[in-house]
Amino acid sequence: MIKLNKITKDIPATVLAKVDYFNPGNSIKDRMALKMIEVAEKEGKLKPGGTIIECTSGNTGMGLALTAIVKGYKCIFTTTDKQSKEKSDILKAVGAEVIVCPTNVEPGDPHSYYSVAKRLEKEIPNAYLCNQYDNLANRLAHYETTGPEIWKQTEGKITHLVCTAGTGGTVTGTAMCLKEQNPAIQVWAIDVFGSLLTKYFRTGEVDMNEVHPYISEGFGEDFIPQNYDMSVIDYFEQVTDKDGAIMARKLAKEEGLFCGYSAGSCLQGLMQLKSRLKKDDVVVCIFHDHGSRYVAKIYNDQWMMERGFLEVKTFKDIVNGRAGKRLVTIQPGQTVSQAVELMKKYDIEHIPVVNGQETVGSVSEGGLFQKVFHDPGIKTATVEAVMEHAYPLVAFDTPVERLSSLINKENGAVLAKDDKGDYHIVTKYDVLQSLAK
């Protein structure tokens, strides 16, 4: 349990994070994965040498895969194409077979990851489909472990539980335990826009018009899993894909907690409800998994920008801020004196050497100074004879932070082409200017 200090500084209540990425599989799903297998063994549904089958976004699969290694089972997992590649790669690394299915199909579609898993259970001898959505061992795990831990760690002072809602196991099982201890504890479930859970909670209606594709991972549903007992949940709050992703990054930078997508959404949901909290309240947010599984997604600037989630300064922004100044270039056959004159005329330090449409080298004020100082006669030499290597070519929308790592003693500038195919240059001075604004 870790106290949040910076992001929640304006909240009068004490906000604690139940960080579950310290489990062997780096997520809270380890708890229910082990429990589902233990119950299946006890009930005779899973026998030695059998095959565990599950539809999973990755974390449940990791818990099951680790359990399978210890107990000697095989694993086949179905997942959706919206899940991060890291999750599938990690599952394969621990010996599981992973089948990727389309996201944008209804649960009953034969190609959905639910349907494929059911089909495999029928086709493979001695196979067991865990079905974390309807398997009540899921919520039992949290009733027996997560709930009691939170009660003990807060010394019974918890007043609010905040948790993202997916299969329903974590939020329901934990809530059942805590409300047995104190029925006054408020349980807030955090959902994503595009999921039907919130409307179902509020109206009891399964409205498929609520369902549309969303990017958030690990929570939200397009059906109602049997693990839910809505009577132990007091409120549902929806969070956008963008807000959840941005908050996850904020958690890493401001609280030092490198968590997954759902953790950001969980905290964002709390921030949207902060006006309901009082000074003596003790809030526990459940952070399900580790950020390492989202490095290519929410922790990748390019991925975030492509979805409009991140507004960062880029090469393009620097160029647009220079009021249309043209790029000064020089040809290989021109003289060093001409290069020096261009630098003086335009007050620049770096000039790309261009042959036709191709950049073949570069000349810099510092480099030419050293050469002319040691050999004054070199002024009449051609640029080709003294030029340095060409500047690195980057994408026009490369973030400024990335540019700063490319500009060094060897590379005094970087180049990029705009949509028209025209070259532009950014120097160390340009980067410093942009960061200072």
Catalytic residues: 29
> Quick one: 74 exposed, middle or buried, by C-beta within 10 A (0-12, 13-18, 19+)?
middle
Q: How far apart are CA 12 and CA 156, in angstroms?
A: 19
Q: Which residue, 68, 63, 223, 36, is CA-closest to 136? A: 36
Position of tokens 């009660």? Answer: 151
Report whether 124 contacts 53 (CB < 8 A).
yes
Tokens describing residue 349: 């330090």
Q: What length is written for the chain?
A: 437
Position of tokens 């495999």? Answer: 120
Q: How far apart are CA 376 and CA 309, in angstroms?
A: 54
Q: How far apart are CA 294 and CA 28, in angstroms?
A: 16
Report whether 96 contacts 77 (CB < 8 A).
yes
Question: How many CA atoms within 13 Å lie on the side-chain side of 139?
Answer: 24
